[in-house]
Chains A and B, each alone.
Chain A
Amino acid sequence: MSLKDNLHNLKEKYKGTKMAPAFNAIHTFLYLPNEVTHGGTHIKAADDLKRTMNIVIMALIPCLIFGMFNAGYQHYAAIDGSLRADVLANFFTFDNLWIGIIKVLPLVIVSYGVGLLVEFIFAVIKGHEVEEGYLVTGMLVPLIVPVDTPLWMLSVAVVFGVVIGKEVFGGTGMNILNPALTIRAFLFFAYPTWMSGDKVWVYDAVNMSEADAISGETMLGYYAKASQDLTIKGANGAADIVTTYGDRANELYSTFDKFMGFIPGSVGETSTFLILIGAAILIFTKIASWRIILSAFVGAAVMGLIFNQVVAADIITESSKFYGLMSTVWWEHLTIGGLAFGAVFMATDPVTGSQTNKGKWIYGFLIGFISIMIRVFNPAYPEGVFLAILLMNVFAPTIDHYVVQGNVKKRLNRTKVKTA
Chain B
Amino acid sequence: MSKDIRIKKGLDIKLVGVAEKSTTAVSQSSIYAVKPEDFHGITPKLVAKEGAEVKAGDTLFYSKSDARILFPSPVSGIVKEVIRGARRKVLAVKIAADATQSYKDFGTKNADEMLAEEVKDHLLASGCWPFVKQRPYDVVANPNQAPKAIFISAHASAPLAADLAYTLAGKEAELQAAITAVSKLTEGLVHVSVGANSSSPLANLKGIAVHKVSGPHPSGNVGTQIAHIDPINKGEVVWVLAPQDLLVIGELLLTGKLNLTRTVALTGSQFSAPQYVTAVSGAAIADVTANNLKDDNTRIISGNVLSGKEVKMAEFLGYYDNQITAIPEGDDYEFFGWNKPIFNKISTSRALTFSWLSPNKKYDLNTNTNGEHRAFVVTGSYEEVFPLDIYPMQLLKAFMYKDLDEMEALGGYEVAPEDFALTEFVCVSKQPHQKIIREGLDLMREELG
Residue A131 CB within 8 A of the other chain: yes
CA distance A54 to B352 in the complex (A): 10
Q: Encode A106-120 as 1/0 by CB contact (under 8 A) with B.
A: 000000000000000
Residue A8 CB within 8 A of the other chain: yes
Q: Are B335 and A31 in contact (CB under 8 A)?
A: yes
Residue A13 CB within 8 A of the other chain: no
Residue B375 CB within 8 A of the other chain: yes
Residue A46 CB within 8 A of the other chain: yes
Q: Are B348 and A286 in contact (CB under 8 A)?
A: yes
CA distance A51 to B233 in the complex (A): 40
Q: Are A415 and B234 in contact (CB under 8 A)?
A: yes
Residue A276 CB within 8 A of the other chain: no
Residue A50 CB within 8 A of the other chain: yes
Q: Are B368 and A36 in contact (CB under 8 A)?
A: yes
Residue B110 CB within 8 A of the other chain: no
- Closest-by-CB residue of A relative to B337 is A32
Q: Are A36 and B379 in contact (CB under 8 A)?
A: no
Q: Are B372 and A129 in contact (CB under 8 A)?
A: yes
Interface residues on A, range: 35 or more
Q: Are A172 and B375 in contact (CB under 8 A)?
A: yes
- With contacts A39-B432, A54-B339, A356-B391 taken as known, whether A45 is within 8 angstroms of B426 at the C-beta atoms is yes
Q: Which of A47, A174, A356 contacts B371 (CB 8 A)?
A: A47
Q: Are A42 and B327 in contact (CB under 8 A)?
A: yes
Q: Which residues of A contact B446 (CB under 8 A)?
A: none
Q: Are A44 and B335 in contact (CB under 8 A)?
A: no
CA distance A404 to B308 in the complex (A): 32
- With contacts A32-B338, A35-B368, A48-B372 taken as known, whether A40 is within 8 angstroms of B394 at the C-beta atoms is no
CA distance A217 to B92 in the complex (A): 78
Looking at the assembled complex, report how far the CB atom of A20 sits from the nearest CB atom of chain B, in whole angstroms: 13
Q: Which of B332, B337, B428 contacts A49 (CB 8 A)?
A: B428
CA distance A361 to B430 in the complex (A): 27
Q: Which residues of B contact A191 (CB under 8 A)?
A: none
- Closest-by-CB residue of B relative to A406 is B391
Q: Encode B227-248 as 1/0 by CB contact (under 8 A) with A.
A: 0000101110000000000000
Q: Encode A349-377 as 1/0 by CB contact (under 8 A) with B.
A: 01101011100100000000000000000
Residue B272 CB within 8 A of the other chain: no
Residue B289 CB within 8 A of the other chain: no
Q: Are B335 and A355 in contact (CB under 8 A)?
A: no
Q: Encode B423-438 as 1/0 by CB contact (under 8 A) with A.
A: 0111111101111000
Q: Are A42 and B433 in contact (CB under 8 A)?
A: no
Residue B365 CB within 8 A of the other chain: yes
Q: Which of A7, A286, A400 contacts B351 (CB 8 A)?
A: A286
Looking at the assembled complex, report how far the CB atom of B396 sits from the nearest CB atom of chain A, in whole angstroms: 11
Q: Are A31 and B434 in contact (CB under 8 A)?
A: no
CA distance A33 to B373 in the complex (A): 11
Q: Which residues of A contact B368 (CB under 8 A)?
A: 32, 34-37, 44
Number of interface residues of B (CB under 8 A): 73
- Closest-by-CB residue of A relative to B425 is A41
Q: Which residues of A contact B381 (CB under 8 A)?
A: 286
Q: Are B350 and A42 in contact (CB under 8 A)?
A: no
Q: Are A32 and B301 in contact (CB under 8 A)?
A: no
Within 8 A of B (CB), among A149-193: 170-174
Q: Are A55 and B351 in contact (CB under 8 A)?
A: yes
Q: Are A50 and B377 in contact (CB under 8 A)?
A: no
Q: Are A34 and B332 in contact (CB under 8 A)?
A: yes
- With contacts A41-B306, A45-B426 taken as known, whether A52 is within 8 angstroms of B391 at the C-beta atoms is no
- Closest-by-CB residue of B relative to A5 is B333
Q: Which residues of A contact B345 (CB under 8 A)?
A: 45-46
Q: Are B369 and A36 in contact (CB under 8 A)?
A: yes
Q: Which of A44, A170, A285, A351 contacts B370 (CB 8 A)?
A: A44
Q: Are A33 and B380 in contact (CB under 8 A)?
A: no
Residue B23 CB within 8 A of the other chain: no
Q: Are A34 and B331 in contact (CB under 8 A)?
A: yes
Looking at the assembled complex, report how far the CB atom of B393 sits from the nearest CB atom of chain A, in whole angstroms: 6
Q: Are A45 and B370 in contact (CB under 8 A)?
A: yes
Q: Which residues of B contact A412 (CB under 8 A)?
A: 409
Q: Which of A42, A172, A400 contacts B367 (CB 8 A)?
A: A42
Q: Which residues of A contact B430 (CB under 8 A)?
A: 44, 48
Residue B305 CB within 8 A of the other chain: yes
Residue B28 CB within 8 A of the other chain: no
Q: Which residues of B contact A29 (CB under 8 A)?
A: 338
Residue A137 CB within 8 A of the other chain: no
Q: Encode A19-32 as 1/0 by CB contact (under 8 A) with B.
A: 00000000011111
Q: Are B424 and A351 in contact (CB under 8 A)?
A: no
Within 8 A of A (CB), among B338-385: 338-339, 342, 345-353, 355, 365-372, 374-381, 383
Looking at the assembled complex, report how far the CB atom of B391 sits from the nearest CB atom of chain A, in whole angstroms: 6
Q: Are A36 and B329 in contact (CB under 8 A)?
A: yes
Q: Are A54 and B338 in contact (CB under 8 A)?
A: yes
- Closest-by-CB residue of A relative to B385 is A45
Most buried by B among A46, A129, A170, A172: A46
Q: Which residues of B contact A350 (CB under 8 A)?
A: 377-380
Residue B146 CB within 8 A of the other chain: no
- Closest-by-CB residue of B relative to A353 is B379
Q: Are A34 and B375 in contact (CB under 8 A)?
A: no
Within 8 A of A (CB), among B292-329: 299, 301, 305-308, 310, 325, 327, 329
Given A32-B333, A42-B305, A133-B377, 19 additional A-B pairs, CB 8 A = A8-B333, A33-B371, A34-B333, A40-B433, A41-B424, A41-B434, A43-B306, A44-B369, A44-B370, A45-B370, A45-B425, A45-B428, A48-B338, A48-B372, A50-B339, A356-B379, A357-B380, A408-B409, A412-B409
Residues of A at the B interface (CB closer than 8 Å) are 4, 7-8, 28-52, 54-55, 129, 131-133, 170-174, 284-287, 289, 350-351, 353, 355-357, 360, 400, 404, 407-408, 410-412, 414-415, 418
